[in-house]
Structure formats: C-alpha cells, structure tokens
Amino acid sequence: MAVIDIPFTSFTPDLPSLNNPGLVKAHNCTPGLGAGAGAVTLFPLKSASLYSNTAMDSRPLGSAIGQDQNGNAKVYAANASKIYKLNPADRQWTNISRVGGYSTTDSESWESTEFGSLQIFTNYNDEPQFIDMNVDTQFANLTTLVKGRYIATHKGFVILGNTWDAIDGGIPYRVRWSGLELPSEFAYSAATMADFNDIHGFGAIQGLVTDDSCYVILQRGIVQMSFVGAPWVFQFTDRVVGKGCSVAESIITVEGKHYFLSDDGFYKLEQGNLTPIGIGKIDSWFLDNADLSQAKLMTVAADPRKTLIYWQFVSKDAVTGAPDLMLAYNYVTGEWTTADATTDFIFNSVSLPWTVDQLDAFVSIDAVPASFDDPIWAGGNSMLWGLSATGAVHSFGGPTMEASIETREIQLSDNIPNETGADIAIVNAVRPIFKGGGATARIQVGTKNLPNEDMSWSPLKECNSYTGFAYVRSRSRYQQFRITLSGEWSSASSLEIDGQAAGKR
C-alpha cells in the first residue's frame, strides 16, 4: 500500500479528463496561490446576505459610486425609468431622476463615469444625465446635442461612444468628446476642442476604457485614442485588428488592465496589447454553458479585498432566465473557478456608515449580514455588493457556500509502487487536505475500466473525524475523485489517496 498526494492545480475543464493536468471542477470556491509550482489553493466563497430590503420598480440596469467634497460615500443605481440614490439614513433607494424619468429599452443599459464632482450616466435612449455629488438632489440633462451607449473621462474630456445625434442619427462606430474641462459642452469648436471621429472597419463600439490613453473597444478591433492637442485633439491608432469584444457588459478595468469577452473567449488588454487569459482553461466551457442570447444580463465586478474578478451570467440550464452562474478569475495567478450566483446583479460599491441604532433594522443578530469587524459597517470602504431583480441590496457575508471539487481522471497504478506491472488499482481511502475545524468533507470515487466508458460514482462517504480519511475500497483501471466541503472551511490544497496495485494474473 502507498499514500500519494495529488495537489490541486488549475481548473481546466476545456482539456480532456484523462491525464488533465488540472481540476475538471472547482465550484463555489475561489482560486489562490498554491505551495508549489503549478499548485492552486482553493478558498471559500460567501453567499449573499441581505443588507437592505429596499426596492426599485424594475430590475437594475446600471450602477455608480462616488463621494462628495467632504468624503461622504455615494451609491447610485438605475433601472429602465429611474436613477436612484441609496439614502444613508435608511438604506432605501430614493428616486432622484430628472422630471419625467427615462425610457431605457430592453436592449440597453446604463453606463456611468465621474468627472470631478459630477456623476454622469448614459443609456443611449435618453440624453446623458449628470448630478453634482456635492448637491446630490436631482439628475438633469448633461447635453441635448448627443446621446451615447458608452462613456468615459480622459485628459479633461467626457467621451461618448456609439452615438446618436439629430443630424446624423445613430453612428455605432463614432466617438464624440466634450470641450476640454467643459463636460457639458459638445458643440463642435476649435476653441473648446469638442469634436468627433468615426472609426471604420471594426464594427460597432462596445466600450471605452482608459489608462494613459483611451482605448475604443469595438466588435472586431481596438483603437487607441492619444491626446495630441489642437487642431486634431486626439490621434487614433489601430492597436488590435480582427479581435474585439462580443459582450459589452463583460468589460472591466482593474489596476489599469482591461478584461472582456471576445467571440472565442476572455482577454486582457494592457498598454494596447491583447493577451488571451482563458484559452485551454475555461473558454470552451464558458461558451458551451453560457446562454449568450441573454448576454445583456451579464454583470462584472472586482473583489476589492482579493485579486479576483467575477463575471455573473445566465447559463443554458437557468430555469428562470436569471443569472445563475459566476466565473471567478484571479488576475494575479491567472487561475479560474466557478460559483453559483446568489444575486441578480453584482457591482462595485462603497459602504455607508452605520450607527448602533440602525442595526435594529435587522431585528435579530442572526439576520445581520456580516460580522461586526467587517468593513461594511464603516463608511467609504470599497465593497462587492449585489442586487436582486427588484433592487434589494446584498453584501457577500452570508454562509459559506458548499464547494465541489473534481480531479482529473488518473491511472493510479502508474502513480504507486507496482512491482507486478498490473494496470488495475485498489483505492482504500481518500483524505482531502483542508483547513477549518467547523467543516465537513465528503468523498466520491469514480471508477471505470476503459478510457471511453463513463465514470461510475460511489455514494458520498464522510471523512472520519479522527483520521481524516473516507474509506472507500474500490477497484478499477481508471479513477477520479470528487470532494465536497461544507461548513466553515478556510482553504483546501490537495488530496491524499491510499491505494495499492491489484494482483496481476
């Protein structure tokens, strides 16, 4: 008999199960750095917990955060007809729309950007909207000259992409910018430098992102906007030809790098250079499982306290057509995992300050959404939040989600002492290596004798509280292992297998 250690490695469902160098399932957990070369440590993921039982009159379509001149945190969100502010006094959405509201169509959403003390929203159907966060009373039209699907600020300009105006109508490949330090002035002028540019040959604009330059992400290309001053204002340079963004809602910028979904998978744009980040790992899995007919419901956000990005989306197995799955990506290690979605809309937010008296809103201590040392209770801390389809606000401090991990298929007889040369092995016991005294681990062993057969799975076996092993006693040529972790576990890193070669006849 021999005990071998199988460290957890990359989640690579795109590769064949047999001799896959990674895991074929890593669900309801997040990926972190492992102890050895190629190793991955998996960490728990908390479910959503109710932060404020507030409501909107339809599903959320956009969000924004900011602060006023005194440092007070501001949280905004918008639906089809209204823009709301989360009122610090009672944590309720307060309608601060312009008079008459808005008419966002089913195919559109709200995008936002900050310009000084201004928070600016745009939805393409209505005029761009702004509010001065120092006053914070009611949104109003930023301009009536142009509408846009996408918006950014760069070098003192407000930039709109994929625009509509009364003269030319809809121009999906146009960028148009305001006057320098004049965010509401879009009349063409050499004096203010307000102008436009049409980008041909790459399809429609899908988003605007900024670092030292502004990058226009289109369906089939990426173009760099570099400020050069009058008379041209911006110089436009093709940076990527033939590859662009397929889902505008997938775009996110983290630490000066930009991430998005293209037709064939996920990419990173850094200083104008494009790098695939999901190839050979999760690209095929995502494209096979995502319902891209409902891509408009995708949301993306970054965890402010971990190096993680989450893409939440509707899968083909979703029963209600609501987002039901998430991809988690560690942008430092390059590793991925999956998870169940526990809200309908995720977004980056900031916490609002609480007083002890306001905790009465939760009625009981069990309903409090996070421990009292969590940053959610202090104002101005960056947070990852979620919204329900009706606008209720959730934090992610709920119960730890039950994790499910599945190894590659192996031929155990090749990995243990085997003097007889037998290709059949007996698995006596399996022990997952994890931390967390309040956790429960269970094991399933998959067995088959031919590479083209389906795995037959044993019943779930709970690990012994003294030895940590689940005793299974199975015999086969090929093996695979499932681990389920429930309760308050804190990390998981590998699997120990007690096995022996079967006798050779």
More confident residue, 189 or 502: 189
Q: What is the pLDDT of residues 93-115, one digit of tens each?
A: 999 999 999 999 999 999 999 99
Q: Omega into 231 within 30° of 0, i.e. cis?
A: yes
User: Taking 50 as the threshold, does the pLDDT of residue 363 lie above it?
Assistant: no
Q: What is the pTM of this model?
A: 0.93
User: Taking 60 as the threshold, does the pLDDT of residue 356 lie above it?
Assistant: no
The CA distance from 217 to 246, in Å, is 10
Residue 124: name the closest of 143, 140, 114, 111 by CA: 111
The CA distance from 275 to 267, in Å, is 6
Q: What is the mean pLDDT of residues 312-338?
A: 96
pLDDT at 353: 72
- 262: tokens are 């293209």
More confident residue, 367 or 2: 2
Neighbours of 398 (CB within 10 A): 15
User: Taking 70 as the threshold, does the pLDDT of residue 1 lie above it?
Assistant: no
Express as a percent the part of the chain with pLDDT over 90.
85
Residue with tokens 């956790």: 439
pLDDT at 362: 47
CA atoms within 13 A on the CB side of 196: 23
The CA distance from 483 to 469, in Å, is 12
Q: What is the mean pLDDT of residues 350-379?
A: 56
CATH no. of 2-45+402-501: 2.60.120
Q: Who contacts 29 (Cβ-Cβ below 8 Å, separation ≥6)? A: 42, 43, 44, 45, 337, 339, 401, 403, 405, 485, 492
What phi and psi, each to the nearest 5 degrees, are found at residue 292? Answer: -75, -5
User: Taking 90 as the threshold, does the pLDDT of residue 55 lie above it?
Assistant: yes
Neighbours of 399 (CB within 10 A): 13
- 314: tokens are 């509707």
Q: What is the pLDDT of residues 456-466, one digit of tens each?
A: 999 999 999 89
Residue type, 49: S
83-86 vs 73-78, strand pairing mode: antiparallel
Q: How far is CA 120 from the centre of its chain?
A: 23
Q: What is the pLDDT of residues 145-194, one digit of tens each?
A: 999 999 999 999 999 999 999 999 999 999 999 999 999 999 999 999 99
User: Taking 60 as the threshold, does the pLDDT of residue 359 lie above it?
Assistant: no
The CA distance from 46 to 488, in Å, is 10
Q: What is the pLDDT of residues 409-448, one digit of tens each?
A: 999 988 888 777 788 999 999 999 999 988 999 999 999 9
The CA distance from 377 to 421, in Å, is 62
The CA distance from 337 to 324, in Å, is 15
Domain ranges of the chain: 2-45+402-501
Q: What is the pLDDT of residues 241-252, one digit of tens each?
A: 999 999 999 999
* 8 Å CB contact between 159 and 176: yes
C-alpha separations of 391 from 48, 90, 387 in Å: 14, 15, 5
pLDDT at 368: 52
